[in-house]
Amino acid sequence: MTDTQAPSSIPLAGVIGSPISHSKSPQLHRHWLSKYGVRGFYIPMDVAARDLRDVLITLPKAGFVGVNITIPHKEAVLEIADLVTDRATLIGAANTLIFRKDGKIHADNTDGYGFLENLKAGAPKWNPTQGAAAILGAGGASRAVIASLLEAGVPEILLSNRTRVRAEKLQSDFGNRITVIDWVQAGNMLEEASLVVNTSSLGMVGKPEMRVPLDGLRKETVVTDLVYTPLKTRLIETADEKGCVTVDGLGMLLHQAVPGFERWFGPRPEVDREARAAVLR
């Protein structure tokens, strides 16, 4: 034990954001803590940007072994961490921190991992190397999705975003496997894709509906939506009607939490019906 760690044998973890009351992570981690009989706690913490550094430096001294980081701190935390994984650097954001025994803060991004694991579980026959992926949206989540798809070997990514310059920035960051498509042409790129991903917030409760024409969807195409409130977005519903394999966004939330839980508490948790039910409660 170093002087930065508390002498507690009960591991503490949590999620830091602002606001934080909407976060489903506490329900999920508490379910897993109970399922695996781990004597630990997972706590939601509303922390303002100006206090983030102080809080992160203090938490290990109180027995915390790590935290999840959510909006609006995912980018700022890279400046505070001592070690940042290559994928978190590439994505430009971190969502999982490990407080190491040597006192160093280790930052990782597991969103891309969660996205890919969810896709593999929901569409086991999808072969990343077989065709292009069409992505709607170029925000923070899109960066994680693109990084994971490129790593998985997807040969081409067609990327469309309302604000074109944001998609062009991703193209310049991630390279020539990305082709930017005008937002008004977004519907046309769907028929060329073997995977369609909505990473925009369109279709989410409280946000505008997705108006991109979906006529081009083919039944061979795998369709996934990062939005999970509601679970059945218009994109998922339309794709279901066309006979596509569809994967909802809730599983990504569950899978991205697995590496953190394992590092902090020991057992590698299972993403199953019970875990889904725990966050839907």
The answer to whether 252 contacts ligand NAP (rule: CB under 6 A) is yes
For 125, residues 6+ apart whose C-beta sits below 8 A from its C-beta are 245
The answer to whether 162 contacts ligand NAP (rule: CB under 6 A) is yes
Please, are residues 41 and 10 in contact by the beta-carbon 8 Å criterion?
yes
CA–CA–CA angle 258, 259, 263 (5° rounding): 120
Nearer to ligand NAP, 91 or 154 (CB): 91
Query: Which residue among the candidates 74, 120, 207, 242 is catalytic per the annotation?
Result: 74
Nearer to ligand NAP, 106 or 143 (CB): 143
Considering the complex, what minimum distance in angstroms separates the CB of residue 204 from ligand NAP?
4
Dihedral angle over CA of 166, 195, 245, 113, nearest 10: -70
* Cα atoms found within 13 Å of the Cα of residue 58, Cβ hemisphere only: 6
Cβ-proximal residue to ligand NAP, closest one: 139
The answer to whether 186 contacts ligand NAP (rule: CB under 6 A) is no
The answer to whether 208 contacts ligand NAP (rule: CB under 6 A) is yes
Please, are residues 126 and 154 in contact by the beta-carbon 8 Å criterion?
no
Considering the complex, what minimum distance in angstroms separates the CB of residue 130 from ligand NAP?
24
Give the binding-site size for ligand NAP (rule: CB under 6 A): 25
226 is in an annotated binding site: yes
The answer to whether 108 contacts ligand NAP (rule: CB under 6 A) is no
219 is in an annotated binding site: no
Cβ-based neighbour number of residue 173 at 10 Å: 14
Residue owning tokens 């921190």: 97
The answer to whether 166 contacts ligand NAP (rule: CB under 6 A) is yes
Distance CA 203, CA 141 (A): 15
Strand blocks (E) in 47-154: 64-69, 83-84, 96-99, 105-108, 132-136
Does the annotation count 232 as an active-site position? no
Q: Residues annotated in the binding site for NADP(+), as ranges?
A: 86, 137-141, 161-166, 226, 249
- Catalytic residue set: 74
**Contact positions vs ligand NAP (CB under 6 A):** 111, 114, 137-142, 161-163, 166, 199-202, 204, 208, 226-228, 249, 252-253, 256
